[in-house]
Structure 1
Amino acid sequence: MGHAGFFTIIRPANSFVAGFAAIVAYRIANGTLVYDGILLMAIVTLITAAGNVINDYYDAAIDAINRPGRPIPSGAVSRNAALVYAGLLFFLGILLAGFTSLLCLAIALFNTILLVAYAARLKSTPFFGNVTVSYLAASIFLFGGALAGVNRVPDMLPLVAITFLAMLARELLKDAEDIDGDSAGGADTLPIRIGVRKTALLAFVFAVAAVAASVIPSLWWGAYYLGAIALVDIVIALAAFRALGCTDPGCVKSTGSTSLLKIGMFASLVVFTLSAVLL
């Protein structure tokens, strides 16, 4: 086993983006960037990384079919080492959360429990597992608002809704792509139950809802934000639209919808960042 596997398994790009999103959330809620924002980024990055590792620990058999190149099935990291590694990352994240506020600490603890429960049980629960991971992504904005003060949390709800709905659309399409491996691993996902076509339609509905929710921040960020987010909305809507009509996992993969949705969500974070700083 090499050290590179322990870096890869945390999915550093995803973990860093999650941490960066926390700083953006704090900037939006508080209007400033102080050392608390850096602390917030560290907490979210660590807990997100831990969640990625524990997810790979529980998904080793499924990943051996769907994603054999990942660190555990490829042999770069052993399952036991991954379990210890995840525990260490969770501990460090929660420890740092103890230096913030009581509400932030509560969210960090709750999300840690939810991340473990998701990896161990909830992932194989039709739709509820998708809702769980979508909440976890959206809760980064709650976390940022909570650090700025309880009274700032409601201001973050539109961004929470946008992230939650777009992530839910992507998670459903990812499950549609992974039917073969999930079936072999004993997972019971929504696409397995209702089929790829209906899942793709549901994902499109959530993507459109995310687009609708993205208009709300224009009430305080104005026309410049609306113009920028409209471009992102086109990407998100198009991504989900491309999977409509698919009836098998191969078709969903060939559309590139999940990758396009990921690009759209990253672009929305860029728009949120620029709006928070400039508008």
Structure 2
Amino acid sequence: MSRLFAHFVLLRPANIITAIADIMLGFAASGSVMMLMQDDEVTAGEPQMRLLYWLILSTIGLYGGGVVFNDVFDAELDRVERPERPIPSGAASRVSATVLGALLLIGGIAAAFQVSVLSGALAVLISVIALVYDALGKHFSVLGPINMGLCRGLNLLLGISAVP
């Protein structure tokens, strides 16, 4: 497995679709979709579409960073239980995965701040809660599901935060 592909695998791209769906559902539930259907022929929906694009970019970074850090924190366990994963197999180093995860989270936060301060604050909160899950939460039968539910619920709120 090439190093580039190994880092791509760390992102779990098939699962990122679910995070994008959260954003789109929140966006639709917020009523922002109605703004896309404006009658103004020149700017019909453009500002709202821009917000949606930023939020989709944000959730890709947040989800991607979260799952990359999940593999970073699980590297020792994965050596035994999932040796084919990129870090234990040596296809990706723990350091490069840490850098990738950090860049993705920072990029996700920065993209959210392009929408609003509220969106940015939600992205920061999602990042912190995801890191708590990765490092600690998943090892506890009560905290883990609550922690993951908070990540998903806040991601839905991130989509709703497009409301001006």
After TM superposition, the score normalised by the length of structure 1 is 0.50
Quote the residue 1:60 is aligned against: 75
Give the Cα–Cα distance (whole angstroms) in 1 for the partners of residues 137 and 21 of structure 2: 27
1:123 is displaced (CA, Å) by 2.1
Give the Cα–Cα distance (whole angstroms) in 2 for the partners of residues 86 and 119 of structure 1: 12
Give the Cα–Cα distance (whole angstroms) in 2 for the partners of residues 95 and 143 of structure 1: 13
Give the Cα–Cα distance (whole angstroms) in 2 for the partners of residues 46 and 98 of structure 1: 13
1:93 equivalent in alignment to 2:108:
yes
Give the Cα–Cα distance (whole angstroms) in 1 for the partners of residues 149 and 78 of structure 2: 21
Gap regions ≥5 residues in structure 2: 37-48
Per-residue deviation, residues 226-254 of structure 1 (Å, max 9, x unmatched): xxxxxxxxxxxxxxxxxxxxxxxxxxxxx
Task: State, as a whole percentage, how many aligned pairs show the same letter.
Answer: 29
1:115 is displaced (CA, Å) by 1.3
| Partner secondary structure for residue 162 of structure 2 | helix
| Partner secondary structure for residue 148 of structure 1 | coil
Letter in 2 for 1:78: S
Letter in 2 for 1:124: H
1:31 is displaced (CA, Å) by 4.2
Gap regions ≥5 residues in structure 1: 150-279
Letter in 1 for 2:125: F
Give the Cα–Cα distance (whole angstroms) in 2 for the partners of residues 31 and 110 of structure 1: 23
| Partner secondary structure for residue 103 of structure 1 | helix
Quote the residue 1:6 is aligned against: 7
CA-based RMSD of the aligned residues comes to 1.6
1:78 equivalent in alignment to 2:79:
no
1:95 is displaced (CA, Å) by 1.1
Q: Which one of the candidate residues 148, 160, 164 is aligned to 1:133?
A: 148
- How many residues align? The count is 149
Give the Cα–Cα distance (whole angstroms) in 2 for the partners of residues 100 and 83 of structure 1: 27
1:66 is displaced (CA, Å) by 2.8
Query: After superposition, where does 1:19-58 map in structure 2 within 5 Å?
Result: 19-32=20-33, 33=36, 34-58=49-73
Q: Which one of the candidate residues 113, 117, 125 is aligned to 1:110?
A: 125
1:21 is displaced (CA, Å) by 2.6
1:122 is displaced (CA, Å) by 2.1
Q: Assess if the C-alpha contact under 8 Å between 1:123 and 1:129 holds in 2.
A: yes
| Partner secondary structure for residue 147 of structure 1 | coil
Greater RCO (CA < 8 Å, at least 6 residues apart):
2
Quote the residue 2:162 is aligned against: 147
After TM superposition, the score normalised by the length of structure 2 is 0.83
Give the Cα–Cα distance (whole angstroms) in 2 for the partners of residues 76 and 51 of structure 1: 19
Higher normalized helix content (fraction of residues) = 1
Rg (Cα) greater in structure: 1
Q: Assess if the C-alpha contact under 8 Å between 1:15 and 1:46 holds in 2.
A: no
